[in-house]
Structure 1
Amino acid sequence: MGCAGSRDKADAKKIRKPKPWKHSEPITRAQLIQMRDEFWDTAPHYGGRKEIWDALRAAAEADITLAQAIVESAGVIVQNPDLTVCYDERGAKYELPKYVLSEPANLIRDN
């Protein structure tokens, strides 16, 4: 018997890759990497705990199996299975744009 706020592993949502998406205009891999870096550099300033942001970044950059283990071990509550909306155990909300989670369908080759 646990406390009312405890979660069972069976209750944890299984994460998955985001559905295919397109950026508003075709972008290169270098531009995508720059967008991701800018997001991760500024994300902690929007609230929440740095260690959760770090865990979410590690999960976003990992394969699905490892990402699942990362979010579970960090105590991240997954609202959307594609990780676009998550919460920490204190109720802080973390929103991740799809561009940090997967590549757009209109990614173009760098010159």
Structure 2
Amino acid sequence: MGCVGSSQAKGDGNAKKIRKPKPWKHPQPITKSQLMQLRDEFWDTAPHYGGRKEIWDALRAAAEADLSLAQAIVDSAGVIVQNADLTVCYDERGAKYELPKYVLSEPTNLIQDT
């Protein structure tokens, strides 16, 4: 019985529907340009956290796309979505990919650039 449940769980993991992250707040008010700088720094260093570069590239493309395109990207890349908001994912080899919320959505305390 455990095998049947395991195979269903794995199949469901690949097909998990992506959703937008819940609203979140940055520790201090942040401008759009500061947020973009944080995102660029994360994506520039992400491959150094482990995993495969092509999976990081797919996750970046998914993070920057609308939900339906993001779903197609992670499905085609073989990404296993642990959390529906993409904060925790795995590749087919079991490598873990953790994405901070600031690369997935804007904070509630985003302010205008001056």
Q: Segments of 4+ in structure 1 off by > 4 A?
A: 7-11
Q: How does 1:42-61 map to 2 (within 5 A)?
A: 42-61=45-64
RMSD between superposed Cα atoms in Å:
1.5
Identity of aligned residues (%): 82
Q: 1:88 aligns with which of 77, 88, 91?
A: 91
Q: Work out the number of aligned pairs and report it.
A: 106
Task: Normalising by structure 1, report the TM-score.
Answer: 0.91
Match of 2:3 in 1: none
Provide the residue aligned with 1:18 in structure 2.
21
- Structure 2 SS opposite 1:104: coil
Name the counterpart of 2:108.
Answer: 105
Distance 1:68 1:9 in 2: 14
Structure 2: gaps of 5 or more residues? 1-6
The CA deviation at 1:11 is 5.3
- Quote the offset at 1:77 in angstroms: 0.0
Contact map agreement 2:14 2:78 (CA 8 A) in 1: no
| Distance (whole Å) between structure 1 residues aligned to residue 99 and residue 14 of structure 2 | 22
Give, as a single letter, the amino acid of the residue that structure 1 aligns with 2:90.
Y
* Structure ranking higher in helix proportion: 2
Deviation at 1:97, TM superposition (A): 0.1
